[in-house]
Structure 1
Amino acid sequence: MVRRQEPAPLSTGAVISGPIRTCVGCRARASDSELLRAVVRDEAVVPDPRRRLSGRGAWLHPDPACLRAAERRRAFPRALRVQGPLDLTALTAHLETVEAGQ
Structure 2
Amino acid sequence: MESVRTCVGCRARASRSSLLRVVAIDSALIPDERAAIPGRGAWVHPTLECAETAIRRRAFVRALRVSGSPDAQTLIDHLQRNG
TM-score, normalized by the shorter chain, greater than 0.5: yes
Partner of 2:5: 21
Count residues with an aligned counterpart: 83
- Work out which of the two has the higher radius of gyration on C-alpha atoms and give 1 or 2: 1
- What is the alpha-carbon root mean square deviation over aligned residues? 0.7
The question of 1:83 aligning with 2:67 is answered yes
- Structure 1: which 5+ residue stretches go unaligned? 1-16
Structure number with higher relative contact order (C-alpha < 8 Å, ≥ 6 residues apart): 2
Q: TM-score under structure 1 normalisation?
A: 0.79
- Structure 2: which 5+ residue stretches go unaligned? none
> Which stretches of structure 1, 4 residues or longer, exceed 2 Å deviation after superposition?
none
The question of 1:58 aligning with 2:42 is answered yes
The share of aligned pairs that are identical, in percent, is 54
Partner of 1:31: 15
Letter in 2 for 1:33: S
Q: Distance in 2 between matches of 1:86 and 1:62?
A: 18
Q: How far 1:51 moved relative to its partner?
A: 0.8
